[in-house]
Chain A
Amino acid sequence: MTSLTPVWRLIIPQLAFIVCAAVTLPSVVVDVPVPARQTNWRGSRGQGSCVWASLVTLFRWQNRPVTAAWIRQNCGDGASPSDVEPLFERLGIRYATTYGKKDVNFLNWSIRTHRGCAVGVNNYAHMVCLVALNDNYAGILDNNSVGQVIWIPREQFLADWFKSHSWAVTPVYTPSAPAPSEAKRVQPLLTCNTHQ
């Protein structure tokens, strides 16, 4: 058996890691273009509006631009299900939600149907968009930093979501069409940041 030079001994495991990670990363099914990703804003009480910002992004993705603009204009500050659900029902907005049930099937459904969902994270202190999920990784679009999708190991993400009352909510309209023949896998070493 031929012996490997020290350089190759260093390179080969790294190459193997890159290939394995690239294979295990899920596709970004909620592939919102950067200009359509709503950044967080301060509401009238000076609080962040992460819940509303996540929902605005999802409304845009599901082709409801007027509803998205209305929420951006009229909503703000921190919010909980008791703020979001009455508003949606008053406006007749079609939505689905889960709270306190650790219902991972809800997350799987939102990704399977390309709708995505807003999920509570950071011990219920923040809300972000879940844009990809498979057995290994979750892809997160954070309204505090909308430039790139953040990849988190699935178990780490789920543990955080469970601690955040496993709250998830999404509009139920028409998800945007996938981009034709788009290479959706992202190089893992460039994007494999943790969420904290």
Chain B
Amino acid sequence: MRYFFFLVLLCSTCYGAEERVLKLPEDSDKWYISVIGDANDPQYQSIIQQFHEGKLAELRKQCHYLPVTTDNPMFEHYKPSIKGTPTVRVQDAVGRVIFEATRKQVPADLYNAIANAAQRHRIFPLRPQPNPGPQPNPVTPDDPAPDPVDDGGTPDIAPTDPDWGVGLCVFLLVVGTVLGLVSARRNQSTSLKQG
């Protein structure tokens, strides 16, 4: 029985060496991170570098990550909707823009800026829960190494410092609604007594 297990493991390892994808990734819930810019622009290069380090690298692996240079044929797809280069844009699975920054607007602390934007997006929940899956990582000879294919959904992202402003707004909104309802109920009962 033990040998059978090892045989199965060996076969599955050999089978996995082929590049044909046998389990189709169900990653339609993934968000998109597009970094659009001139490959020779130092700011673009710096942003790309940031997405390969620390928390931004973790975020990148949970999303569809798309570095698009101006000489890429797909640049035409992004060109009509950007204000300039470099642009960092984060979109949810259906294309809603969660975060976008261009040129000097791109903050130094990019991770927290994206995380705060994602936090605001989550207050009005429109998203499925994240569901990370297996992460095979083959490499083609020419293009840069692709990010792994997995079934991950919405990225698991949180700001390192809480966004108190948004929280306070929501709290005040809830308190205001409750007070308004109480007030309306009192007025109603008063008018009934008068009637």
Contact = CB atoms under 8 A, between A and B. Distances in A.
Contact of A36 (B24, B74, B95, B143): B74
Interface majority SS (helix, strand, loop, mixed), chain B: loop
A88 B80 CA distance: 33
A106 B26 CA distance: 12
Contact of A177 (B72, B95, B146): B95
A171 to B, nearest CB: 9
Nearest to A174: B64
A93 B143 CA distance: 10
Interface string A68-96: 10100000000000000100110111111
A114 B95 CA distance: 11
A61 interface: yes
Interface in A106-141: 106, 109, 112-114
A178 B91 contact: yes
A21 B141 CA distance: 45
Interface string B9-21: 0000000001111
B60 to A, nearest CB: 11
B69 to A, nearest CB: 8
A31 B77 contact: yes
Interface residues of B, number: 39
A176 interface: yes
Contacts, number: 119
Given A66-B142, A96-B21, A173-B149, 8 more contacts: A33-B76, A66-B143, A88-B19, A95-B20, A113-B24, A175-B64, A176-B74, A179-B95
Interface string A43-70: 0000000000000000011011111101
Interface in B26-41: 26-28, 32, 34
A36 B91 CA distance: 22
A146 interface: no
Interface string B96-109: 11000000000000
A177 B73 contact: no
B66 A174 contact: yes
B121 interface: no
30 contacts: A33-B73, A33-B76, A35-B76, A36-B74, A63-B72, A63-B143, A65-B143, A85-B20, A89-B18, A89-B19, A92-B139, A94-B19, A95-B19, A95-B21, A96-B24, A106-B24, A112-B26, A113-B24, A113-B25, A172-B25, A173-B146, A176-B74, A177-B64, A177-B78, A178-B32, A179-B80, A179-B95, A180-B91, A181-B95, A181-B97
Contacts of B80: 179
Interface residues of A, number: 41
Nearest to A34: B76
A32 to B, nearest CB: 7
A61 B74 contact: yes
A97 interface: yes
Interface string A151-193: 0000000000000000000001111111111100000000000
